[in-house]
Structure 1
Amino acid sequence: MRLLSLFSGCGGMDIGFEGDFFCLKKSINVNKHPEWMGEDSGNWVRVAPTIFDTVFANDIRPDAKAAWVSYFDRRKEDANAIYHLESIVDLVKKSKNGISVFPDNIEIVTGGFPCQDFSIAGKRLGFSSTKSHNGEKLSVDEPTTENRGHLYMWMREVISITEPKVFIAENVKGLTNLGDVKNIIEHDFSEAGHGGYLVVPARVLFAPDYGVPQSRERVIFFGFKKSALTQKAKEALVKTIIPVEYNPYPEKTHGDDLIPFVTCADAFIDLLEPEFSNDLSQNKYSKAKYMGVHCQGQTEIKIDSVGPTIRSEHHGNIEYRRLSLEHGGKLKDELIAGKEERRLTVRECARLQTFPDDYQFILKKTEYNKNVSASDAYKIIGNAVPCLLAYNIAKNLESKWKLYFKED
C-alpha cells in the first residue's frame, strides 16, 4: 500500500509503518502478536514487515532529511528523491498550479502536523501561532492560514489532492484540552476530498501501553474515505463504542494484566558508557551544566521505570542519565563504580523512542546534507513518533484493511 508521509521528520512514523526493524524483545507481547516476531537476536527481535511502503516524505529540516535518507537509503532505490525538503504549503501551491508533486495511487497519508503551538510545554498559541509554515517569525498582527498552527489544513489539502483511503494524523495530548481545537480539527478533516472522510473521534495513546519505554502521550486522528468503505465498516465506525474488529486504535500490549512496561534499564541494555562506545550516537551527549531542580531537564531518569518524554525544545537540558550524589543522584552503585554524572546520550534518547540501533543520528556532511550534530539529533528525535507506537498502529490497520475497504 503506497504511503505518503507528511511532516516526516527523521522518520519514526515511517519506520514503524514499514516494519522490518529491530526492537527490544520485551517490547513485543508474543502472547498477543506472535506473528510480529521475526529474526530473533537475543534481547532483540526484528519485527515483521507491513503492507505499507513510503513513496513520498517531506519536512523543512535539512538535518531530519539527512538522517532519514541515511537510514532509508539501504531500503529504497532513491531515498533522497523520495524525501522533499520543502514546506507543505509550497508543495500544495505547486500542485494546484499544475506541477506534478504528489505520486499517484496513494492508499494512505500519515502526518504529525507541528505540535509546538498546542503543547503545554510551549506558549499554547494554537491556531494563532506566530510562526510561519517554514519556521520564520510572523508579526502578531499578521493573521494567516499559513501559520504553523494551521498546517493541519494544508495536510487536509494534500488529502484532498491524493484521495487516500485512510489518513492518520498525530499531535500532542495538549491539543485535546485547548478549547474546542480537537473538534474543529476533526470537522475540518472530515471535509477533505470530494466525498468527505469519516473521522473517528481522536484518542490519546500512552506509548508505554505499546512497549515503548517512555511516558509519551499522543493524540491520533483517523479518517476513512467514505466512498471506499464497506457498508459494515461505515456502520461500525460511527458507533459510540466501535467493535474491536473495526476499531482503528490498537489494543494495548503492555501494562495492567498483560506484560510489564518496558523500563529504561531494559532499553539501555548492552550500551557502553560514551567514552567506551564505538557508536557515534552513544558518544554524544549534552554538556549543559546542572542548574538545580527548579529548571527543566535537571532530573535523573528513573532507571527501573519508563523514561521521561523526550523533548525537542530542551535547549541542551536533556534529562540526566545519572546525577552525582551532591546533586541528589540515586544510582549509587553506578557512582561507586566510577561512572560520572552526565545527561542522556543521543543513542539513549533514540532507544527510548524505539529507533533501531542501525539508525545513525550523528552524520558527517555529504553531497545532500549538512552536518547533523548532537543538538540537531536531540531535536529530531524529540520531534519523532516512537517507531514501535507507529508499528502497533500500522499492524492493527493492516489486519483490518479488507474489513474496512471495498475491493477495487
Structure 2
Amino acid sequence: MKNKRVLSLFSGCGGMDLGFEGGFSVAEELVNPEVFRHCSNPENGMVYLPETGFQTVFANDILRYAETAWKPFFQNRGVDSESVFHTESVVDLVKKHEAGEFQFPTDIDVVTGGFPCQDFSVAGKRNGFNSHKCHQNDINGDIPAKESRGSLYIWMRKVVEITRPKVFIAENVKGLVSLGDVKQIIERDFRRIDQGYLVVPAKVLFTPDYGIPQRRERVIFIGLSRRYLSPAMVDQIESGLIDVYPPVSHSENGGESLLPYSQVRHALRDLLEPERSEDPAQQKFSKAKYCPGTQGQTEVAYEGIAPTIRAEHHGNIEYRRLSRENGGKNLKELDKGLPERRLTVRECARIQTFPDSYEFVRPKKKGVEYPLSASGAYKVIGNAVPPLLAYHIAHHIESLWNELFGEIRQITEEVHEGEALQIA
C-alpha cells in the first residue's frame, strides 16, 4: 500500500525516487536474498524488487535534462508528472511558499534530497559553502551567500521545517566529510528544526557493499523527528541498538550471509553491441579520442568493479574496452574482434542500476515530447543516486517504520478518538 508520502528535492533523473518506490529489476548477482527475502526467484538472470509503501508526491530539479528523463519514466508508472515535477529552484519555491504564492504538499512522511555536490567534491574546486555559483547554477552574482549552490542544504532544511516529515534523508559526495567542519555544521542545523530532529551521525556508504558494481562512495544524513519518536526509541538509536542505516549485502570476498561483490559483467549481461541494438541509449557512446594521462582513459574492469560513473566528464567517459595497443585487458571481447570504444549511455545506466525502461536517449524529432541527448543523459545518470542503493535505504527504513513511529501513531489516534467521543 502506497501510504508513505515522499517529497523529493534535487531529484535529478529520479534515482532516489525510483529506489524509494521500488518496482524495478536488477541482475540477480546484485541482490542478496538474505537481505531482500521478499524478492521473487530470479528470472532470465534478473530479480524484481517489489514496490515499497513509499510514493513520490513532489519532485524538483532545475536541470532540463533531469526533467526530460524523470517525467516520461514516472508518467509510465502512472504518476501525473506534470503536477508532481517542479523545475523551479528550491530557493524560489521556498520564497514563494513564505509569500503565500505556493504550497508544498501536506502530510509528508519523508523528505529526500541530494543537494548539489560539486562544491564539496575532491574533483572540484572545493569551495564548500562559498560556492562561485548561485542556486540556479549560474555564476554567482550579487545574491546572498545563503543562496549560493554550496549552501542549498539550508533550503532543504527550510523545506523540512515547513513540511515536518518523520524522516529526512540527505545525500552528498564523500568529500564533504573531509571539508573542514561542514558535516558537523549541517548536522547541527538539521537538529534544530521543529521540536528537534535526531540526526544520526552521517555515514559514508560504499556502493559495492550494496551489490552495485561501481566504486562510488556517498555520505548519507538521516534525521528522524523527535515529534514522532518515543524517548525509548531515541535511546535505542543513540546507543546503537537500532541502526537506521541499511546493513551491507556484499563484501569483497563474500562469507557468512554476504555475497561477493558483483561485477560489471553482471550488470551488462545480454546487452548487444551498439550497431546491433535497437535501444537508442545503447547505440550512443562518446567518440572522444584516447588521450593517455587524462581522466577517463581507463577500461572498466569487466570482471570487477567500475570506477564512479561521472556526470562531468566532457566526453571522457571510461572505456568499455581498450585496444591491446592501449592496454586493453578485456580479452574475451577483444578476441572476438570487437573494437575499442567507450561506455554507452545504457551501459552507464546499467552500472548505476537503472532499469532499461528508462529511455535515456530520445532523438529530437516530431512527436517526441521530451527529447534527450546522449550528453544530457550521461550527465543525469552520473549525477544520480543508484536506485539499488536508495532501495536498500528505503527497504531498511520501512522495515523499522512501525517500530520507530507506530507507538506514537497509536497514541495520536487514541487521542483523536477520545476527542471525537467527547464531541459526540
Q: Provide closer, same or farther for how the CA distance between residues 368 and 128 of structure 1 changes in structure 2, counting only shifts above 3 A.
A: farther
Paired letter, 1:164: P
Structure-2 separation of matches of 1:49 and 1:232: 30
Give the equivalent residue in structure 2 for 1:336. 335
**Shift in Å at residue 360 of structure 1?**
1.0
Structure-2 separation of matches of 1:8 and 1:164: 17
Q: Is the 8 A contact 2:8 2:56 kept in 1?
A: yes
SS in 1 for 2:376: helix
Q: Is the 8 A contact 1:263 1:305 kept in 2?
A: yes
Q: Is the 8 A contact 2:93 2:102 kept in 1?
A: no
**Shift in Å at residue 81 of structure 1?**
1.5
Q: Provide closer, same or farther for how the CA distance between residues 27 and 70 of structure 1 changes in structure 2, counting only shifts above 3 A.
A: same
CA deviation digits over 1:157-211, x for unaligned, max 9? Answer: 000010101100000000011111100110011112x212111100000111111
Give the equivalent residue in structure 2 for 1:134. 136
CA deviation digits over 1:369-400, x for unaligned, max 9? Answer: 65311100000000000000000000000000
Structure-2 separation of matches of 1:164 and 1:76: 24
Give the equivalent residue in structure 2 for 1:232. 232
CA deviation digits over 1:53-94, x for unaligned, max 9? Answer: 000000001111111111101113411220001100000000
CA deviation digits over 1:201-260, x for unaligned, max 9? Answer: 000001111111111100000111111102221112222xx11xx211000101142111
Give the equivalent residue in structure 2 for 1:315. 314
Give the equivalent residue in structure 2 for 1:75. 77
Structure-2 separation of matches of 1:382 and 1:77: 24
Paired letter, 2:390: A
My pick for the range that moved more, 14-23 or 365-374, is 365-374
Structure-2 separation of matches of 1:160 and 1:99: 18
Q: Is the 8 A contact 1:115 1:171 kept in 2?
A: yes
SS in 1 for 2:73: helix
SS in 1 for 2:162: helix
Q: Provide closer, same or farther for how the CA distance between residues 261 and 325 of structure 1 changes in structure 2, counting only shifts above 3 A.
A: same
Paired letter, 1:81: S
Q: Is the 8 A contact 1:62 1:370 kept in 2?
A: no
Give the equivalent residue in structure 1 for 2:19. 16
Pick aligned residue for 2:60 from 39, 58, 61: 58
Q: Provide closer, same or farther for how the CA distance between residues 356 and 39 of structure 1 changes in structure 2, counting only shifts above 3 A.
A: farther
Give the equivalent residue in structure 2 for 1:254. 250
Structure-1 separation of matches of 2:311 and 2:79: 30
Structure-1 separation of matches of 2:305 and 2:221: 25
SS in 1 for 2:325: helix
Paired letter, 1:334: E
Give the equivalent residue in structure 1 for 2:381. 381
CA deviation digits over 1:294-345, x for unaligned, max 9? Answer: 1000001111111110011101100000111111111233223120100000
| TM-score, with structure 1 as normaliser | 0.95
**Shift in Å at residue 354 of structure 1?**
0.2
**Shift in Å at residue 25 of structure 1?**
1.3
Structure-2 separation of matches of 1:19 and 1:142: 39
Paired letter, 1:333: K
Structure 1: which 5+ residue stretches go unaligned?
none
Pick aligned residue for 1:7 from 5, 10, 22: 10
Instruction: Give the root-mean-square deviation of aligned CA atoms.
Output: 1.5
Paired letter, 2:354: F
SS in 1 for 2:333: helix
Give the equivalent residue in structure 2 for 1:392. 392
Structure-1 separation of matches of 2:296 and 2:328: 14
Pick aligned residue for 2:108 from 106, 109, 124: 106
Structure-2 separation of matches of 1:330 and 1:28: 27
Q: Is the 8 A contact 2:72 2:370 kept in 1?
A: no
Give the equivalent residue in structure 2 for 1:278. 278
**Matched pairs, number:** 400
Paired letter, 1:352: I
SS in 2 for 1:276: coil
SS in 1 for 2:199: strand
SS in 2 for 1:228: coil
Identity among equivalent positions (%) equals: 54
SS in 1 for 2:227: helix
**Shift in Å at residue 274 of structure 1?**
0.5
Paired letter, 2:245: Y
Structure-1 separation of matches of 2:184 and 2:343: 37
Find out whether 1:119 has 2:121 as its counterpart: yes
**Shift in Å at residue 131 of structure 1?**
0.6
SS in 2 for 1:34: coil
Structure-1 separation of matches of 2:174 and 2:210: 16
SS in 2 for 1:236: helix
SS in 2 for 1:402: helix
**Shift in Å at residue 100 of structure 1?**
3.1
Structure 2: which 5+ residue stretches go unaligned?
413-424
Runs of at least 4 residues off by over 6 Å? none
Structure-2 separation of matches of 1:157 and 1:70: 29
Give the equivalent residue in structure 2 for 1:167. 168
Give the equivalent residue in structure 2 for 1:297. 296
Q: Is the 8 A contact 1:39 1:47 kept in 2?
A: no
**Shift in Å at residue 348 of structure 1?**
0.5
| TM-score, with structure 2 as normaliser | 0.92
Find out whether 1:31 has 2:30 as its counterpart: no
Structure-2 separation of matches of 1:73 and 1:404: 32
Structure-1 separation of matches of 2:48 and 2:290: 38
Paired letter, 1:373: S
My pick for the range that moved more, 53-62 or 76-85, is 76-85
Give the equivalent residue in structure 2 for 1:149. 150
